[in-house]
Structure 1
Amino acid sequence: MFKGSARLAGENNKEYSYRVIKEGIMSLKLRPGQAISEVELADALQISRTPIREVMGKLREEHLVEVLPQVGSYISKIKPQLIEEAAFMRYTLEKEIMKMACDSFPEDKLRELKRNVALQEEIIERKATDGLAFHKLDTKFHSIIFQGNNKEHVWDAITRLSTHYNRMRVLSEMENSFYTAFIEHKNIIKVIEEKDIEHVEEVVHTHILKPTKNWGKLYQPDSPYADYFDLSYKMPIFQ
């Protein structure tokens, strides 16, 4: 059964349960399609059911938990449609934010990006397999770019739509490696630092859209992850 991590300083029961349950979902330790119980979660985290019930409602809003009447609650399967929509949103908006960054970007935020990438490199050098740790740094990397252009609320909106997209990134990176994303992040920094606006579209396309071309094989019938996906929405994805 799912086990919670240590409580952070100052976390109340609701904050704690939301963080650890969502981390379990995003790291795929709570598998897509897996049945979950408020009672079992409360027992695992050693808290009452009330905050768990509130957290489950929030996770439903984020498309991470589904409730089937008379059946039970499940971790939402990954929906390629939601991945495609999030990738479209990220590509469209990150192109523009990168152009703004090439025009003007605070030095302290540039240093923060470089520190972030240095931490990514440490994970790679340790040959760590913790996809969630790398993913947290990846997410923070992009949030810094939006913060540097005073568009952090835009990033928040992207994050809310990207829960299925981000699980797919974690799955893909677990199956392959973090190294490609790390190199692409270094290229993004180089474009910002050199104010190389002509290469913005290329680096953003390479980082966000190009990887999706290989994701389709992960939900084919012969994939070990086929059961992770909800393919009920019939449309061309990742073509």
Structure 2
Amino acid sequence: MMEVFEQLPGENAKHYAKRALLYNLVNLEMKPGDKITESDLCELYGISRTPIREAILELHQQNMIDIYPKQGTFVSYIDTAAIDEFLELRNLMEQSVTQLACEKLTPDNIAYLRENIVQWKHHLKNDNLAKTQACDKEFHKYIYCACGKQFWHNIIRENAYQFDRIVILMFSSINTDKLVKDHSDMVDAFEAHDKEKAFEISLCHTKRYIEHLDEFLVKYPNYFKK
């Protein structure tokens, strides 16, 4: 069932529509292949058709929504080829970022990351997938920002939505203890200024998200692009 949010103070209707739609797309409340009807979304979110249409067009450009003339508008299927390209980009960036983190992170930065891990464990225990994923995103964002690489992080986030759906599938169906340990081990490597170890853990961590991909293809065959 689709989540409905309140419009934030100062948030225009298009940004509100895109934020709400993106949440539901990423968290698979809107399933790949589902048909999207603008009038239904207008009623659900209490806004006019123009901002809904603008949000849909932007999400189409980000490959989260497919638009077929004379057929309709649909939630895009998960594209494994796009995810492979995204992970190649992320690994290239993280080779530099993990090295910088070993040089730049302060004791306060390390403490913040350890607190994030505590929160992640709490949300996992309570089966709150959205908050679990939010903690995961915040962990990585914080490292980039603390290293002065906010722009790099923005590039990653703007291209991560296909990958985010794989993350949700993993959190919902696979034991994630190894992911949590990766974060903890990564922080230990940052604190020890061990650049080689930090990058090694980062590569291993990224691979964990796709090591069950074949299982997902079997379990959720209708979610993936043929």
1:98 aligns to 2:93 (yes or no)? no
Cα drift, residue 65 of structure 1: 0.6
1:228 aligns to 2:226 (yes or no)? no
The aligned residue for residue 175 of structure 1 is 173
* Equivalent-residue separation in structure 1 for 2:62 and 2:106 (angstroms): 32
* Equivalent-residue separation in structure 1 for 2:3 and 2:199 (angstroms): 42
Cα drift, residue 217 of structure 1: 2.0
1:120 aligns to 2:104 (yes or no)? no
The aligned residue for residue 67 of structure 1 is 67
* Equivalent-residue separation in structure 2 for 1:175 and 1:226 (angstroms): 15
Amino acid at match of 1:162: A
The aligned residue for residue 219 of structure 1 is 217
Residue among 196, 202, 222 paired with 2:200: 202
2:50 alignment partner, SS class: helix
* Equivalent-residue separation in structure 2 for 1:188 and 1:70 (angstroms): 50
Cα drift, residue 134 of structure 1: 0.8
* Equivalent-residue separation in structure 2 for 1:137 and 1:20 (angstroms): 19
1:74 alignment partner, SS class: strand
1:94 alignment partner, SS class: helix
Q: TM-score, normalised by structure 2?
A: 0.93
Cα drift, residue 139 of structure 1: 0.8
1:73 alignment partner, SS class: strand
1:66 alignment partner, SS class: strand
The aligned residue for residue 165 of structure 1 is 163
Structure 1 window deviating more from structure 2 (104-113 vs 39-48): it is 104-113
| Deviations, residues 82-101 of structure 1 (Å, cap 9, x unaligned) | 11111111122112200111
Q: TM-score, normalised by structure 1?
A: 0.88
Contact 2:166–2:209, Cα closer than 8 Å, also in 1: no
| Deviations, residues 124-178 of structure 1 (Å, cap 9, x unaligned) | 3xx3223221111111110111101111110111112221111111111111134
Cα drift, residue 207 of structure 1: 0.3
The aligned residue for residue 81 of structure 2 is 81
Q: Which runs of 5+ in 1 are unaligned?
A: 232-239
Contact 1:123–1:134, Cα closer than 8 Å, also in 2: yes
Cα drift, residue 106 of structure 1: 3.6
Contact 2:123–2:129, Cα closer than 8 Å, also in 1: no
* Equivalent-residue separation in structure 1 for 2:10 and 2:118 (angstroms): 29
* Equivalent-residue separation in structure 2 for 1:53 and 1:123 (angstroms): 34
Contact 1:30–1:75, Cα closer than 8 Å, also in 2: yes
The aligned residue for residue 33 of structure 1 is 33
Amino acid at match of 2:38: E
Amino acid at match of 2:7: R
1:33 alignment partner, SS class: coil
Amino acid at match of 1:90: R
| Deviations, residues 46-91 of structure 1 (Å, cap 9, x unaligned) | 1111111111111111111110110000111000001111111112
1:56 aligns to 2:56 (yes or no)? yes
Contact 1:35–1:72, Cα closer than 8 Å, also in 2: yes
Cα drift, residue 3 of structure 1: 4.2
The aligned residue for residue 12 of structure 1 is 12
Q: Which runs of 4+ in 1 moved over 6 A?
A: none
